[in-house]
Amino acid sequence: MSATRAATFHPELITALRSARRVAVLTGAGVSAESGVPTFRDAQTGLWENFKPEDLATPEAFRRNPKLVWEWYEWRRQKVRSVQPNAGHRALAGMAKRYAEFALITQNVDGLHQRAGSAGVIELHGNITRTRCFNENIVVPEWTHTGEVPPLCPQCKGHLRPDVVWFGEDLPEAAINEAKRVSSACDLFLSLGTSSVVYPAAMLPEIALRTGATVVEINPDETPFTPNATFSLRAPSGVVLPDLLRAAGIV
């Protein structure tokens, strides 16, 4: 490991990584950007350029036009299927093996953490590779393809929807409670690739700060959380996280 690389990181940051016992990580769309998955901030393209994500990701939008919303998620599924996890995803999968306690909390619905080898990922907002019945609210693993868009629930013939949390909907209780628990128990918290504006996810770094953890933000841009972060690194997570872990001798 060349001396220069360690020098680029604050020595207390390196110490925090080396001495941490219980680590919690929160990720957002930015961690998948280097894989080619557009973030919520990125302007939508093609068919979807005139739609704001937060206008499509609501139960009201689905009731109004279920076909439109289903096709948006189908477009996103194809995008996710066509890309690979990046060095940021892989670095987090590697980190999990190096700490006594390690929790990975994500706002992402793309499943790329799991494809990079991360286990026990706490999915706060669901996963677009799963589908559930809009009426009965149960996950539906398979259904008959009749050409209907959205397809219909084999049980109640209601519309099927992606198994994600839409704006105005509550998060899965077990997931948000576990996320709050690990955030209040950790001594090192990483906030990666999130604009820190969507709640309740955005309160998790605050919980970690309040319980005395070192909180490291990684984001090319500043966020509302930046002034509170113990360290805030202005760089892409797929580049700086592997560098940081190498400099600390973690991986």
Altogether, the residues listed in the chain come to a count of 251
Which residue has the closest beta carbon to ligand BV8? 30
Give the HSE-up count for residue 68: Cα atoms under 13 Å, Cβ half-sphere.
Answer: 17
Report the C-alpha gap between 219 and 30 in whole angstroms: 8
Quick one: which of 6, 22, 39, 135 contacts ligand BV8 (CB under 6 A)? 39
Quick one: which of 195, 233, 242, 247 contacts ligand BV8 (CB under 6 A)? 195
Q: Where does the chain have alpha helices with state H? A: 3-7, 11-19, 30-33, 53-56, 59-64, 66-81, 87-95, 112-115, 173-185, 204-210, 237-247
Please give the single-letter amino acid code of residue 40: F
Cβ nearer to ligand BV8, comparing 39 with 129 = 39
Quick one: which of 136, 169, 210, 212 contacts ligand BV8 (CB under 6 A)? 169
Asked if 85 contacts 8 with a C-beta cutoff of 8 angstroms, the reply is no
User: CB under 6 A: which stretch of 14-22, 94-102, 207-215, 236-244 binds ligand BV8?
Assistant: 236-244
Chain positions 91 to 120 lying near ligand BV8, rule: CB under 6 A, are 107, 109
Going by C-alpha positions, the residue among 124, 132, 139, 137 that lies closest to residue 161 is: 132
User: CB under 6 A: which stretch of 6-14, 59-67, 94-102, 198-206 binds ligand BV8?
Assistant: 198-206
Quick one: which of 48, 75, 167, 231 contacts ligand BV8 (CB under 6 A)? 167
Return the SS3 of 126. Answer: strand
Tokens of 158: 């209601």
Count of residues near ligand BV8 by CB under 6 A: 37
User: b or e along 184-201 (b: 16 or more beta carbons within 10 Å of the residue's beta carbon)?
Assistant: bebbbbbbbbbbbeeeeb
Cβ nearer to ligand BV8, comparing 15 with 55 = 55
89 in catalytic set: no
Quick one: which of 93, 153, 201, 216 contacts ligand BV8 (CB under 6 A)? 201
Least distance CB 144 / ligand BV8 (angstroms): 25
Cβ nearer to ligand BV8, comparing 22 with 198 = 198
Q: What is the set of active-site residues?
A: 125
Residues making contact with ligand BV8 (CB under 6 A):
28-31, 33-34, 39-41, 54, 57, 107, 109, 125, 164-170, 193-195, 197-201, 218-221, 223, 236-238
